[in-house]
């Protein structure tokens, strides 16, 4: 065999081995399916971009839901393994449908504000109006009900609520339909709304207090049967959130926000400041805010009359063991 043929054969063999290795690695990745609202969680986007999921031996299929009803249904029907959304959705699944689901991680506090049309200046002017929400009996709709109760307005009696979808869709609806008087909006939609002249009647932080908003929840049976996959996923998510919150990555994160949310640079920069630099949005290590979650339960008890007004212990809805194991795995990986 001459030298040229030997080189060609060597290149072919090496290429074959590399392809075989890549195929074997792809086959060995543990796969999981994710449903989320609204859009794809930014830590998930960064984990995909930076190879963090592959590093922890998992492959994640992401299917954002158009609204919380579809998101909850996907999890309940086994079409998704993990859900990312406001964790009150998990509580609602347990209490309203009897689903055996559990929260396994936090992630974000609530930065929502009640925004109304530019010609409205007070909550009193919402009497007789229609306000839009994702769903009338979960999460941010309960925030709205509480804020308006503080102003003497009761849903169904003094104003109507109309389900309309996730936050981005609601902002579009308020632009196009002036009869939709208001909605709860968070960044970046809240930042865009303010710039367009919509009026904020107050934030959840000031009017309600700490609130555990975004987090991950799963079916207990799936978590028990796929513990290793879940722990790997949580570890990758935590590492991705650390990357997002590192000041050295600020410009990359802003560019990621621009691309993912389709927003201009100045809106993305302000969103970054609110979500990350203010320490009121993204939680360090995607930790679960127990006090904020107690407030979630308190809110549901007050405005929905759940549990005859007396919320149960938060441990009924949250299992910290998977998150704790994910943190331990991250420490061991250093």
8 A C-beta contact, residue 42 and residue 244: yes
The rounded percent of the chain whose pLDDT value lies above 70 is 91
Q: Specify the pLDDT at position 2.
A: 54
The rounded Cα 160 to chain-centroid distance in angstroms is: 26
Q: What pLDDT is recorded for position 5? A: 55
203 pLDDT more than 90 = yes
Confidence of residue 16 (pLDDT cuts 50, 70, 90): very low
pLDDT at 27: 56
**Going from the N-terminus, what domains does the chain have, and what CATH number goes with each?**
30-109+212-333 (3.40.190.10), 113-207 (3.40.190.10)
Sheet-wide strand order for 113-116: 160-163, 130-133, 180-185, 113-116, 199-203
DSSP-assigned letter for residue 61: E
Mean pLDDT of 4-30: 52
Give residue-wise pLDDT tens across range 275-329: 999 878 999 999 999 999 999 999 999 999 999 999 999 999 999 999 999 999 9
pLDDT tens track for 131-167: 999 999 999 999 999 999 999 999 999 999 999 989 9
Measure the CA–CA gap between 295 and 311, rounded to whole angstroms: 10
State mean pLDDT over 95-101.
96
Question: What is the DSSP code (8-state) at residue 283?
Answer: P
In this prediction the pTM is 0.89
Please answer whether residues 113 and 324 qualify as being in contact, where contact means their C-beta atoms are separated by less than 8 angstroms: no
- Residue 258: its H or E element: helix 250-261
């Amino acid at each position: 065999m001459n030298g040229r043929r030997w080189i060609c054969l060597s290149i072919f063999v090496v290429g074959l081995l590399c392809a075989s290795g890549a195929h074997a690695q792809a086959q060995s990745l543990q796969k999981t399916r994710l449903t989320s609202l609204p859009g794809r969680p930014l830590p998930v986007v960064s984990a995909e971009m930076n190879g963090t999921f592959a590093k922890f031996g998992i492959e994640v299929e992401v299917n954002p839901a158009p609204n919380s009803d579809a998101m909850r249904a996907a999890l309940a029907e086994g079409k998704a393994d993990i859900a990312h959304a406001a964790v009150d959705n998990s509580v609602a699944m347990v209490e309203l449908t009897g689903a055996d689901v559990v929260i396994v991680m936090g992630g974000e506090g609530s930065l929502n504000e009640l925004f109304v049309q530019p010609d409205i200046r007070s909550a009193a002017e919402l009497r007789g109006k229609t306000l839009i929400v994702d769903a009338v009996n979960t999460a941010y709709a309960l925030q709205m009900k509480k804020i308006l109760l503080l102003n003497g307005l009761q849903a169904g009696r003094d104003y109507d609520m109309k389900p309309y979808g996730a936050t981005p869709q609601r902002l579009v609806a308020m632009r196009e339909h002036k009869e939709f008087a208001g909605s709860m909006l968070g960044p970046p939609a809240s930042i865009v709304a303010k710039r367009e002249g919509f009026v904020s009647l107050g934030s959840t932080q000031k009017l309600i207090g700490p609130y555990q908003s975004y987090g991950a929840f799963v079916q207990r049976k799936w978590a028990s049967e796929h513990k290793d996959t879940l722990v790997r996923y949580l570890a990758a998510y935590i590492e991705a959130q650390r990357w997002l919150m590192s000041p050295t990555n600020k410009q990359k994160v802003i560019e990621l926000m621009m691309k993912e949310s389709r927003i201009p640079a100045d809106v993305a920069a302000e969103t970054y400041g609110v979500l990350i630099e203010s320490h009121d949005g993204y939680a360090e290590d995607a930790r679960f805010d127990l006090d904020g979650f107690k407030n979630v339960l308190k809110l549901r008890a007050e405005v929905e009359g759940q549990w005859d007004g007396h919320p149960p212990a938060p441990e009924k809805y949250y299992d910290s063991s998977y998150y704790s194991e994910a943190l331990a795995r991250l420490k061991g990986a250093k």
